[in-house]
Amino acid sequence: MASSSVTTLAWGFLLGYLVLMIGLGYKGYRQTDSQDDYATARGGFGFLMLSLAYAATVASGSTFMGMPGMAYGMGFKVGYYAILYPVGAYIGMMIVARITKKVGDRFGSQSVPDFLGDRYQSPVLRVLAALVALFLLFYVMSQITAAGWLFDTILGVNYDVGIWLAGGLLLVYLTAGGTYADILTDGVQGAIMIAITALVAFMFVTGWGIEGGPVAVNAALPSQMQWDVHTSDQNATFASGWAIFLLLVAHIGFTALPHLGNKFFAIKSTQYMKKFMLASAVIGISLPLMFLGGIVGRAMGIQVQNPDAILPVLFMQTLPPVVAAFLSVAILSAIVSTADGLIIAISQIFANDLYRKTYVPMKDEQPDQSRIDQRALWISRISTVVVTVAAILAVRTPPEYLAVLLWVGIGGIIASYGGPYLVGTLREETSKTAAITAFVAGFLTFFVLHLGPRFGLYEGWFPYNQNPFAASGIGFMISCALTYVVSKFTEPLPEEHLNKVFSTRRSEESTGSDAHGTSGD
């Protein structure tokens, strides 16, 4: 429990934060007139705001609480996770961002599953991808749990009330402002997160509270946690160099998660894409330096019952109350900025992937586009409420297999989307058959290696049975390899469709920059 001065200040910061988020939500509401606005905020943002929002969305509560906690318990080797995850995620981002934006604008794609359906002219792939992505609900649940715990620890609010406070905030601005509100709030939250990360990095470099800088910090750690120890036989995540390499591989596929991929639609134009990539790549790799806070806390001999609490406790014990209080807003920012993107992404599974792009075309009636869009907008708003409330209710008594179900979504997407999304972006020859085959094979690989053992069906193989990154990394590689190989032996998509997807000129025509369609001839 925090001291009363920290709690009082934290409430002050929190109230300011709530007012700011709701104000930004209202601004998002003013900009949201259609289903496409709600789902994508298409072309609505410049590169800097979107970069901050993207980095904030990638970095979840895990970055701000889980990684410092892991570092507190395991030492420097956790740095491999902290650094390799953004390296992989932003390499993946660079591969898919431009094509996702371009194809999304041209076909009106409103989500990553929708993008896959449009890219491969495959309603089957769209529905498969949407069904796997539904499991991201458990990711939302994990974020709301973290928020409830944060309210309980720092603000002295009961966990059951804390989860409703966090969920209520999300409901207010997301239901009104959709993706506009999501990105506006995430951009501001990203700036808050950068400020705290810079402080933590400074504490490590100066050897905060320990004479002698980083060398002294290292020397103060137990020997198995020091920086010359790279792996641990006991821990599945860091069991070997191979397991660590798979951390990197899996996170290349992490970029396929729908709450990340849908951000690309929001950039003003593909001409800003390079600036967006550069800014995201720099901001994104800085935020996980938060793990150093766990190292400093351990080196200082701070005792905590729950390792995830090390950062708040470190701040409360060694920094002025006003800084410790501000940390609560930064952690809440990390949680909320991921949860809101996830909720929007899940709402689009119902409104766009299943209703607008699957149910409507299945009906024989001539569709009235504006009526369909109005309905889809309502479905978006209603499903935003339903998903948020369902997640809050579910975490009051977390399901037995919450951690496993969480990984059905994240690992399943990494393993299955990988080939169709990343390889299909680079290789226009990729066929529909290859994409569907790779999607199913990638998911099955992840199921066999990780989900089966975690559900207790059989023992499985170490470290894959305990390490979701290693299992999804293997699934990702199989998905990519199959996408490539099967495409060699199957019919490619029609030339006319590939022209629409990959040709620059068609892109310019569709966005109006080449209205007469004659430039470049």
Partner 1 sequence: MNVLEVLAVVVLGYFVFVAVWLTKIEDYLAEAEENRAETRSPNRGEPRGE
- Write down the residue that tokens 């907008």 correspond to: 377
Cβ nearer to partner 1, comparing 226 with 318? 226
Shortest distance in whole angstroms from residue 217 CB to partner 1:
11
Shortest distance in whole angstroms from residue 298 CB to partner 1:
14
CA distance 344 to 36: 12
Cβ nearer to partner 1, comparing 109 with 445? 109
Q: In this structure, what token pair is assigned to residue 304?
A: 């905590």
Cβ nearer to partner 1, comparing 84 with 311? 84
Shortest distance in whole angstroms from residue 518 CB to partner 1:
7
Strands (E), 119-175: none
Cβ nearer to partner 1, comparing 385 with 498? 498
Cβ nearer to partner 1, comparing 400 with 495? 495
Q: Are 163 and 144 in contact (CB under 8 A)?
A: yes
Q: What is the DSSP string of 453-467?
A: HHTTS----TTTTT-
Cβ nearer to partner 1, comparing 211 with 521? 521
Cβ nearer to partner 1, comparing 77 with 357? 77
Shortest distance in whole angstroms from residue 374 CB to partner 1:
30
Give the Å distances, CA to CA, from 420 to 74, 124, 245, 497: 36, 13, 22, 16
Shortest distance in whole angstroms from residue 274 CB to partner 1:
5
Length of the chain: 521
Shortest distance in whole angstroms from residue 216 CB to partner 1:
14
Residue type, 40: T
Q: Are 380 and 35 in contact (CB under 8 A)?
A: yes
Handedness of CA 283, 284, 287, 289 (dihedral sign): negative
Binding site for partner 1 (CB under 8 A): 76-77, 79-80, 83-84, 87, 90-91, 94, 98, 214, 227-230, 273-274, 277-278, 281, 285, 428, 495-496, 498-499, 502-507, 509, 514-518, 520-521
Which positions ≥6 away from 35 have C-beta within 8 Å?
A: 110, 351, 352, 356, 373, 374, 376, 377, 380
CA distance 472 to 144: 24
Q: In this structure, what token pair is assigned to residue 130?
A: 């949407």
Which positions ≥6 away from 451 have C-beta within 8 Å?
A: 404, 407, 408, 411, 412
Shortest distance in whole angstroms from residue 230 CB to partner 1:
6
Shortest distance in whole angstroms from residue 194 CB to partner 1:
17
Cβ nearer to partner 1, comparing 38 with 484? 484
CA distance 159 to 154: 11
